[in-house]
Amino acid sequence: MQTITSRDNPNVKRIAKLTKRDQAKKEGLIYLEGTRLCEEALASGQKASEVVVTEERISWAREFTPDIEPLVVSREVFAKISQTVNPQGVAIILNEPKLTADIPSRGDGKDIYVVLENTQDPGNLGTIIRMADAFGLTAVIVSPTTCDPYNDKVIRATMGSVWHIPIVRKTMDECFDFFESSKTDTLAMHLKGTELGAGDLRLPCAYFIGNEGDGLTDATSARCTKLVKIPMKGKAESLNAAVAASVIGYELQKLI
CB 124 → its own copies: shortest distance, Å? 9
Stretch that binds its own copies, among 8-16, 53-61, 159-167, 173-181 (CB under 8 A): 159-167
167 binds its own copies (CB under 8 A): no
Contact 78, 16 (CB under 8 A): no
Of 12, 93, 137, 187, the residue at the interface with its own copies (CB under 8 A) is 137
Strands of the sheet containing 226-229, edge to edge, are 167-169, 139-142, 112-116, 205-209, 185-195, 226-229
161 binds its own copies (CB under 8 A): yes
- Toward its own copies, which CB reaches closer, 3 or 240? 240
- Toward its own copies, which CB reaches closer, 176 or 207? 207
- Torsion over CA of 148, 57, 82 and 123, rounded to 10 degrees? 30
Instruction: Scan residues 1-60 and list those touching its own copies (CB under 8 A).
Output: none
- Toward its own copies, which CB reaches closer, 225 or 238? 238
Of 69, 131, 140, 224, the residue at the interface with its own copies (CB under 8 A) is 131
Cis peptide before 10 (omega within 30 of 0): no
How many residues would you count in the chain? Answer: 256
3-state DSSP helix/strand/coil percent for the chain, to nearest 5? 40, 20, 40
Cα separation, 246 vs 251, whole angstroms: 9
Of 68, 79, 159, 203, the residue at the interface with its own copies (CB under 8 A) is 159
> Which ranges constitute the DSSP H helices of the chain?
10-18, 21-26, 35-43, 58-64, 75-81, 122-135, 152-158, 172-181, 218-223, 241-253
Measure the CA angle with vertex 31, ends 35 and 143; round to 5°: 115
Of 57, 130, 156, 170, the residue at the interface with its own copies (CB under 8 A) is 130
**Residue 95 burial (CB count, 10 A):** 13
139 binds its own copies (CB under 8 A): no
247 binds its own copies (CB under 8 A): yes
- Toward its own copies, which CB reaches closer, 227 or 243? 243
Stretch that binds its own copies, among 69-77, 93-101, 128-136, 178-186 (CB under 8 A): 128-136
- Toward its own copies, which CB reaches closer, 49 or 240? 240
Question: 55: helix, coil or strand?
Answer: helix
- The site for its own copies (CB under 8 A) is made up of 123, 127, 130-137, 157, 159-161, 164-165, 230-240, 242-243, 246-247, 250, 253-254, 256
